[in-house]
Amino acid sequence: MPHDPNEQFDHAVLDKIEQSPIGAVPGTPAYQDALKRLYATHQAYADADHKDGHVTARSLTKLPSFHASNLEEVIAGRLNPEHLERNAGIFDRYVQSLPADRRARAEARRLQVAGKPVHHRKHDGTPVHDIIHSLFLVPGAGPHPGLPGNYLYGSLYETGHAATPWAINVHDSDDGAAVFEAPDLAAALVKLEELLASAPFNMNELETLEFRLV
């Protein structure tokens, strides 16, 4: 296999990004060319926490993902998806995982990311089915940086469409989005497991998992 003449320098650039408290590297042409290569190979992303900073994919592998704490019970068929942990609790755990100086910025996105609390409704005394919309957050980036801490967010949800009643979406902090539509809950859960296991990632890598960028 031919030796990559840039490999050693590119690894040094990754080290420099991780050693910098703001993910910065020199602005010289050699470093900027290295960044282009690292972004193209999904080894580095724009840092959500520092303007013009960068973050390495290998550093994001150390971060946890967040989803309903009882998701495995639903996947195993031991729990109805209506009983998945509420989004507020999932978002709480994400916020608490962040350094203290980033939590306020994350809290400012709570309504956008976690949505409004679901109140179980009744009609003439009969419980009404609430559309399932279960939050998850994973390390990564999209066309734009992620949320504070370099997180993408998304949800497993019911679409209301007969042909594809379940779907999964993924978002960055702006308008970057990807979606996977499933014919049933089982297929959606399999895809969600694949997605969670693949993090960290750039959203444009999700096409290999059959997601559609929108």
CA distances from 53 to 16, 58, 141 (A): 11, 16, 13
Where do the H-state alpha helices sit in 108-147?
110-114
Task: Flag residues of the chain having pLDDT under 70.
Answer: 1-2, 117-130
Q: What pLDDT does residue 18 have?
A: 98
Q: What pLDDT does residue 188 have?
A: 97
CB atoms near residue 64 (< 10 Å):
12
Domain boundaries along the sequence of the chain: 7-59, 62-213
Cα–Cα distance measured from residue 107 to residue 43, given in angstroms and rounded to the nearest whole number: 28
pTM: 0.92
| Phi, psi of 153, rounded to the nearest 5 degrees | -135, 160
Q: What pLDDT does residue 130 have?
A: 66
Give the burial class of 125: count Cβ atoms within 10 A of its Cβ; 0-12 exposed, 13-18 middle, 19 or more buried: exposed
With H, G, I as helix, E, B as strand and everything else as coil, classify residue 139: strand
Q: What pLDDT does residue 118 have?
A: 54
**Which residues, 6 or more positions from 83, have their beta carbon under 8 angstroms from its beta carbon?**
70, 74
Task: State the residue for tokens 């609790």.
Answer: 89
Tens of pLDDT, residues 96-133: 999 999 999 999 999 999 997 654 444 455 544 468 99
Task: State the residue for tokens 């296999």.
Answer: 1
Q: What pLDDT does residue 194 have?
A: 98
Q: What pLDDT does residue 128 have?
A: 46
